[in-house]
Structure 1
Amino acid sequence: MFGSILVRCSVVLSTVVMAVASLSAATSQARAEDVIRFGAPLPLTGPLAPEGIKQQQGYDLWAEQANKAGGISVGGKKYKVEIVYADYQSNTPRAVQTTEQMITQDNVNFLFGAFGSGAAKAASTVSEKYKVPTIAAAASSSQVYDQGYKYLFGTFTPNDTLTTPLTQIIKAKAPDVKKVAILARNDLFPLAIAQEMEKSAKANGLDVVYFEKYAIGTLDHSASLSQIKSLSPQWIFVTGYINDLLLVRKQMVDQQMKAPVVTMIAGPAYQDFIESAGQTAENITSASWWHPAEQYNGKDIFGTTSNFVKLFRDKYKSEPDYGQASAAVCGALFQLAIEKAGSLDRDKVRDALASLDVVTFWGPVKFGPNGQINSLEPPVFQIQGAKPVVLFPEAIKQGDLKLGVN
């Protein structure tokens, strides 16, 4: 009898467990059905961590605003936003692996591209294979978009949209600048923009007296800088990321290198660079794809540029830069496209992205046939008084070019 009681208890317990499990599964399924999952592979550790963290801030701000508004509307139903992050540790092959894992194991609906042109291009082979719409928040090099892919989009205009106006400003405001020296990180975006700089310089009659690459992870630039110093260029142009450029700038100071014009891309747009470089950041010129001085009245979740800036300041207690803004607009563009498609079907959302022609807080957004945005006029700026001051375009100009760095 005691045995039969145990059997009956066991049956009851088993039934309860199964019921709880069914309820849990149903709840999980319902929850999953009410959520849109966005995969965001990022370099949250390693040398590119400063840039990766900035993108995460932009994605988080967008997700917060979208969810505060009830979520994304799909055919009359609201879906909450969930972002799935993974750290690929500043390693491009790992970015590719992470992207595949997000699609096949994490079951994300859509993707944000990996950071930088090199990683974004490599990882896009995976998202294209699985036909997952992807928006890259930090990929400007034409080599990313020349693969004939249908599912990849990017919020940065081509690199020459930065170097051409920059060169024209220097030519007009500093006619004595004749010789240019270029030092580039040997990585897809930094090298590509250095090559565009070389083209822009030659097209404007300047003499490129030095063009060399440095390896990723280089810590000692003294030999390259000594060579540049011996050539006495009036314009020194260096590409890389924040940590690279801070190191180069410090070693320039150590060698007492000065020139009428020093340009660094991409770093001076970030407050981190300005604070870390201190006085040695003064008068460094640069260019980026967005600036808080923009004054757009958008149709996205953020609305005006000023509202985006306010929301960012409130959340992070700092001024947003183009990296954070680009990440935020990637989310906002997905939201617009999903709501336009009225569906979570990937092909329908892809088609909605391809046909977007809309003003956002980031500016006017229209993707070209290759998926790269072709509707923006990126600002050129210079660090003056520990702040980026816009020199171009005229509509948001804040100051004039100053020559000489400290």
Structure 2
Amino acid sequence: MLRRTFIALTASAATLALAGAAYAQEVIKIGASAPKSGPLAGGAAMTHWPNIKLWMQEVNDAGGLKVGDKQMKLELVEYDDKTNGEEAIKNIQRLATVDEVDFIVAPYSTGLNIATAPAIARYGYPHIATTAATDGVKDFAGRWPNSFWMLGTSTQLAEGIVSTLAKMKDKGDIGNKVALVNVADAFGLELVAAAKPALDAAGFEIVYETSYPLGTQDLAPVISQAKAAAPDAFVAFSYPGDTFALTEQAQVQNLDVGVFYTGVGTAFPPFAGRFGAAANGIMGIGGINSEDPTVKAYIDKHKSVLNADPDYWASATTYAGLQILGQAIEKAGSLDRAAVVEAIKTNTFDTVIGPVAMPENVNPNVWTVGQWDGGVFKAVAAEGLDVAIEPAKKGGWQ
């Protein structure tokens, strides 16, 4: 009797274990590590986390992803990397080895994507970087064949603003004197390195140049010194906190320039909310073609589901990267990471930013410069994509 009971209990346990395993297979575990604190938390809160929520809700509301003959819903495991590379690497290792997630969403920002790329590659996850702009993309794609880079290179983005300045100089809207500022991290250093030779080749004179550490609070001296140099254009490769601070000081000190350009954060809706009518004419990195019907539909969906506008640059690209991941899983027909990586390499994907193909692991088609116009940040320069409007000289700060 005891033996029969033991066998029955063992069989029941095995049945429960199999049932548990079968249940677990109905869910795709998605891991995410990005700032929720530290200097880049505001940017991640605007661009990164909302689009993960939006994509997962859309997929799950539709019944999940079709993986072979199964319809599998998504489950999120998320961590705060505290805007710290070491913390981000630890989070990736934990997601891979403790949480055993099926796939990982790329981190937020250039620096954190580069810091975590070796760990993501070591565990074989597809790495679709949607908020990293670097000239190292071809090298990185070769070093980490699982990585894909969607936001453009530093040279593309830097040359975008330089070509815009040159167009305006040729029209007589501005002169040739430029104040050039950058945040001293991977993002800012690469962009300023690409911009300087491009400015020189286009006949511009850099009358003021400086850099500042990430997280700098007081940027009034930067604006006062730039103003003293009497530039025709002010260009700052900045992150969100400093983008707002630089613009505030330019308004307070009435920096009189025909072009005022700042970096990440310029495209955020709160930027226009903070500066109101004074935001009109301000240029910044990125942008989107806000006149495109697919982009409009994405913006409307973001507003409807999240009750907030997306940022008018990397939000759409972040969402597109998640769409690519989902479509690649379905094309691969399995959760095998190598098969999904191969699917990303060899297919064209329908996304909110249009068709995307990355046969060499790099998306070549990007918006490079946007400008606030009537409450919308509209693309004025791009490579391989349509723009929304032509660039215009900025008016006053009132």
TM-score by length of 2: 0.88
Equivalent residue, structure 1, for 2:179 = 181
Selected match of 2:389 from 395, 398, 406: 398
Equivalent residue, structure 1, for 2:367 = 378
Q: Distance in 2 between matches of 1:24 and 1:256?
A: 71
Does 2:332 correspond to 1:341?
A: yes
Displacement of 1:405 in angstroms is 4.1
Does 2:395 correspond to 1:367?
A: no
- Give the conservation status (yes or no) of the 8 Å contact 2:286–2:379: no
Q: Distance in 1 between matches of 2:332 and 2:299?
A: 28
SS in 1 for 2:349: strand
Matches within 5 A, 1:3-18: none
Selected match of 1:254 from 228, 241, 252: 252
Selected match of 1:305 from 289, 295, 300: 295
Does 2:299 correspond to 1:317?
A: no
SS in 2 for 1:210: strand
Equivalent residue, structure 1, for 2:82 = 89
- Give the conservation status (yes or no) of the 8 Å contact 2:29–2:77: yes
Does 2:42 correspond to 1:47?
A: no
SS in 2 for 1:114: coil
Comparing 165-174 and 38-47, the one that deviates more:
165-174
Matches within 5 A, 1:199-348: 199-288=197-286, 290-295=288-293, 304-321=294-311, 322-348=313-339
Equivalent residue, structure 2, for 1:3 = none
Displacement of 1:184 in angstroms is 0.6
Could you tell me which runs of 5 or more consecutive residues in structure 2 were left unpaired when the two chains were aligned.
none
Comparing 325-334 and 360-369, the one that deviates more:
360-369
Equivalent residue, structure 1, for 2:155 = 160
- Give the conservation status (yes or no) of the 8 Å contact 2:182–2:237: yes
Q: Deviations over 1:180-234 (max 9, x none)?
A: 1111111111322232222321221111223321001111123333322221111
- Give the conservation status (yes or no) of the 8 Å contact 2:43–2:265: no
Q: Distance in 1 between matches of 2:127 and 2:380?
A: 33
Partner amino acid for 2:324? L
Q: Deviations over 1:212-258 (max 9, x none)?
A: 21001111123333322221111111122221111112222333322
SS in 1 for 2:28: strand
Matches within 5 A, 1:142-161: 142-143=135-136, 145-147=138-140, 148-161=143-156
Could you tell me which runs of 5 or more consecutive residues in structure 1 were left unpaired when the two chains were aligned.
1-7, 296-303
Q: Distance in 1 between matches of 2:158 and 2:16?
A: 56
Q: Distance in 1 between matches of 2:291 and 2:85?
A: 33
- Give the conservation status (yes or no) of the 8 Å contact 1:240–1:265: yes
Q: Distance in 2 between matches of 1:179 and 1:17?
A: 82
Does 2:193 correspond to 1:195?
A: yes
Q: Distance in 1 between matches of 2:261 and 2:127?
A: 31
When residues 30 and 197 of structure 1 are mapped into structure 2, their CA distance, relative to the original with a 3 A threshold, is same
Indicate the RMSD between aligned Cα atoms, in angstroms.
2.7
Q: How many residues align?
A: 386
SS in 2 for 1:138: coil
When residues 395 and 154 of structure 1 are mapped into structure 2, their CA distance, relative to the original with a 3 A threshold, is closer
Q: Distance in 1 between matches of 2:278 and 2:121?
A: 44
Displacement of 1:291 in angstroms is 4.1
Selected match of 1:129 from 122, 131, 142: 122
TM-score by length of 1: 0.87
When residues 121 and 386 of structure 1 are mapped into structure 2, their CA distance, relative to the original with a 3 A threshold, is same
Equivalent residue, structure 2, for 1:33 = 25
Does 2:95 correspond to 1:75?
A: no
- Give the conservation status (yes or no) of the 8 Å contact 2:346–2:359: no
When residues 289 and 276 of structure 1 are mapped into structure 2, their CA distance, relative to the original with a 3 A threshold, is closer
SS in 1 for 2:178: strand
Displacement of 1:339 in angstroms is 1.5
